[in-house]
A = this chain, B = another copy of it.
Amino acid sequence: MSPWQVSRRRLFGLAGAGAALAGAGAATGYGLSAAAGPGTGVIAFRGERQAGIVTPAQDRMHFVALDLTGTDRGAVGDLLRRWTLAAERMTAGLETADGDAVPANRYVAPADTGEALGLSAASLTLTFGVGPALFDKLGITDRRPAPLAELPRFQGDRLDPARSGGDLCIQACADDPQVAVHAVRNLVREGFGVTEVRWSQLGFGRTASTSTAQATPRNLFGFKDGTNNLKAEEPELLDEHVWVGAEGPDWLRGGTYLVARRIRMHIETWDRSNLDEQQQIIGRDKGEGAPLTGTGEFDPADLSATGPDGPVIADDSHVRLASAQENGGVRLLRRGYNFVDGSDGRGHLDAGLFFVAFVRDPQSRFVPMQRTLARSDALSEYLEHTGSAVFAVPPGLADGDDHWGRALLA
């Protein structure tokens, strides 16, 4: 067992909470620590950025959007403090409070729900964001940056309001889904009386690599997804495309925006199309993931190459329309997950991609690209966007800061 694979079980009943947090603190630091990859068990909670953005994408996700039930800024601040404490403990592989499974007073509700007892931290990260509607509710309308606005309707959107929006979000990612579900559930529970769940989404498999150390995974169309994703090892590109700079308000500088889109994929229709058609639509081959102008996955796509029938990479192909070249140089940090939410009552699986991207400005950098894709991408025929949300994600917590979003509410 690596020193980072802190088992809740092993710490149980010890005065070990403090010791373990101190231990976890050794992995704390700015940027990507060598000890902070998936499988090592504990990802540092504190740092210049929130974890769960450039952290190598874990295998599973539970994402929750919550609404405020009132307008009391003090109550929200208190909750954010309690959340921060619980989040730091859980990401270190501890319960939400000391000695909770068998508290000294058996006649109070346990502080922790207990279903992650005995499990490791499983590389848990908890990433916190605020939605556009929160500002009016809390009487801080003037602090809302302009880019933090609900996305416009795109062609073909069939959004379900019950799967869209939200005043707050928490993204839990872990290599064990029970650990991610446990974390969301305990934070939801902590929020009782101040927040309530608006929607939540479980993702069973990552569809993006966010580190050069990770292989590119496949989405439910069977293609490698995110070959050209931004990576943790490219800090200059992250500064350019992901992190909010001097253009943003103080409370968000060094943070980012999170765009979430629940994209139903009509996999049954896709599965009846032939391989050549699939590859033309994507602009890459299915086996290797190489652009149709190359042979290796990471070969650059030659968008100007032509063959006897016109462009080798078709004008309406996904690779072309999503490329930086066709989008004024814009790039995203994608961190999405495959989902299956049962069936749709009409004989088909309700499956697809829960698209999550981190971007410096959703309005100027995501909206134009999505408008193009919705209108022109040959892939759109097989997709249906059923949920949408945008959140501002503050920077990380410095040592000693006990409060997600303190600078926003101050």
Measured CB to CB, the residues of A under 8 A from B are 12, 60, 62, 64, 101-103, 106-110, 112-118, 162-163, 176-178, 181, 184-185, 188-189, 192, 196-202, 204-205, 215, 217-223, 267-268, 271-276, 278-279, 285-287, 338, 340-343, 345, 347-349, 351
CB <8 Å contact, B342 and A199: yes
| Residue pair B113, A197 in contact (C-beta under 8 Å) | no
Contacts of A181 in B (CB 8 A): 204-205, 220, 338, 340, 351
Interface pair A222/B110, CB less than 8 Å apart? yes
Contact call B115/A218, Cβ cutoff below 8 A = yes
A166 → chain B closest CB, angstroms: 11
Within the oligomer, what is the number of copies of this chain? 2
Q: Which of A197, A220, A351 has the most CB of B within 10 A?
A: A197
Q: Provide a sorted-by-A list of 17 A–B residue pairs whose CB atoms are within 8 angstroms.
A: A12-B287, A106-B276, A110-B278, A113-B221, A114-B218, A115-B221, A115-B338, A117-B287, A184-B349, A185-B267, A185-B271, A197-B343, A197-B349, A199-B343, A202-B341, A204-B204, A341-B342
Chain B residues with CB under 8 A of A198: 343, 347
CA distance A285 to B103 in the complex (A): 12
9 more A-B residue pairs beyond the given contacts A178-B338, A181-B220, A202-B340, with a C-beta to C-beta distance below 8 A: A60-B177, A101-B286, A110-B274, A114-B286, A115-B222, A117-B222, A118-B215, A178-B217, A184-B349
- By a CB distance below 8 angstroms, the chain B residues around A101 are 222, 275, 286-287
Across-interface contacts of A118 in B (CB, < 8 A): 215, 218
User: In angstroms, how far is the closest chain B Cβ from the Cβ of A173?
Assistant: 14
User: Are B189's CB and A268's CB within 8 A?
Assistant: yes
**Contacts A275-B102, A343-B197 known; A117 to B177 CB distance under 8 Å?**
no
- Once the chains bind, are A117 and B218 in contact (CB under 8 Å)? yes
B349 and A185 contacting across the interface, CB-CB below 8 Å: yes
CA distance A118 to B286 in the complex (A): 12
Contacts of A110 in B (CB 8 A): 222, 274-275, 278, 286
Chain B residue contacts of A108, Cβ below 8 A? 274-275
The verdict on A268 contacting B342 (CB below 8 Å), with A177-B204, A276-B106 known, is: no
Residues of chain B lying within 8 A (CB to CB) of residue A267: 113, 185
Contact B349 A275 (CB under 8 A): no
Residues of B within 8 A of A197 (CB): 343, 347-349
Closest to A262 in B: B342
